[in-house]
Amino acid sequence: LDSSATLSPNSSMTTKELQEYWRNEKCQCKQIKLLFEIPSTRIVEHHLSKYVMYKIIILQTGSFDSNKSVIERRYSDFEKLHRNLLEEFSEEMEDVTFPKKTLTGNFTEEIINERKLAFKDYLRLLYSMKYIRRSKKFIDFLTRPELQEAYGCLRGGQYTKALEILSEVIGLQERLTRGNPVSVVPTLCAMVVCHKDLENPASAFEYGEKALSRLCMHTSHRYYIPLLETMITLAYELGKDFLSLQEKLEEWKTKKDPIRVFTLKELAVREYIK
């Protein structure tokens, strides 16, 4: 398995949390791989310069569903990734060749096609290295621009647009961080905030349950109490059992010193602020 750091079921977990736990365990037992394709490019003109955007399709294999994610990156993004990875994985990157920039003819069809194939092989090679594919720098390259855009929309009150982007990126983010399910909690909570402000309490509650199941063993996480408080409100609104959630909140309060706790929305709008 790619990951050995998995949660353990315990008696304090609810039935839904246990179900979510075992779903995650089953996913861990499948050999999940990502395939990278770069089928097309487009030339973007910006002020007095222009650059090529490479369309990257990321396909998941080894699961029952055929999920795919589509992102775009430019040459300079790949360059930055390579520099960042070299800082941390100089030995692992020793035999990795990065597509060099040519002085002339950058936008010829031949050069662009050569780079498409080179970047496809480059991503495949990076993903084949366990420590690199788990690294924050590699995961950020594949997800951070989209997450930054989504949170920008959230801060601007464009909740529908934010949800559209988050719904696209969450699947890829989950697949890339299978050994660390807590890392997707901020994204799930951002989706809770969006659905709640769009007056979709049922959908907000659904994503809240997913986030809460990942925090059942991490009650010191900064999102845990704000999420619990939001879930209590949603459960009451939907006529669901909120007493068990209330008990968890009271239990936490008896164990911890009173501290300033942000609301879930306050936490969400602070993510990805430069």
**Cβ(123)–Cβ(142) below 8 Å:** no
pLDDT recorded at residue 4: 37
Question: Within 10 Å of residue 33's Cβ, how many Cβ atoms?
Answer: 14
Are 58 and 71 within 8 A, CB to CB?
yes
d(CA 207, CA 212) in angstroms, rounded, equals 9
Q: Which of 212, 214, 238, 242 is nearest to 225 (CA)?
A: 212
Strand, helix or coil for residue 102: coil
Least confident of 76-80, 138-142, 174-178: 174-178
Q: What is the pLDDT of residue 62?
A: 61
Looking at residue 1, its pLDDT comes to 37
In this prediction, residue 29 carries a pLDDT of 40
pLDDT by residue (tens digit) across 218-269? 988 999 999 999 999 999 999 999 999 999 988 888 877 666 679 999 999 9
Share of the chain above pLDDT 70, in %: 83
Taking all residues of the chain, what is their mean pLDDT, rounded to a whole number? 86
What H or E segment, with its residue span, contains residue 135?
Answer: none
Question: Structurally, what CATH architecture does the domain formed by 33-134 represent?
Answer: 2-Layer Sandwich (3.30)
Q: Where are the domains of the chain?
A: 33-134, 143-270
Q: Which amino acid is at 93?
A: M
Region of poorest pLDDT, from 20-34, 133-147, 207-221? 20-34
What CA–CA distance (Å, rounded) separates 174 from 165?
14
> pTM here?
0.82
User: According to the model, what pLDDT value does residue 87 have?
Assistant: 94
pLDDT at 28: 46
Q: Provide CATH code, domain 143-270.
A: 1.25.40.10
What pLDDT does residue 33 have?
81
Average pLDDT of the segment spanning 160-168:
96
The proportion of the chain whose per-residue pLDDT surpasses 90, expressed as a percent, equals 61
Spatial separation of the C-alpha atoms in residues 178 and 31, rounded to whole Å: 11
pLDDT at 117: 93
> Does residue 96 carry a pLDDT above 70?
yes
Question: Residue 203 burial (CB < 10 Å; 0-12/13-18/19+)?
Answer: middle
pLDDT at 19: 63
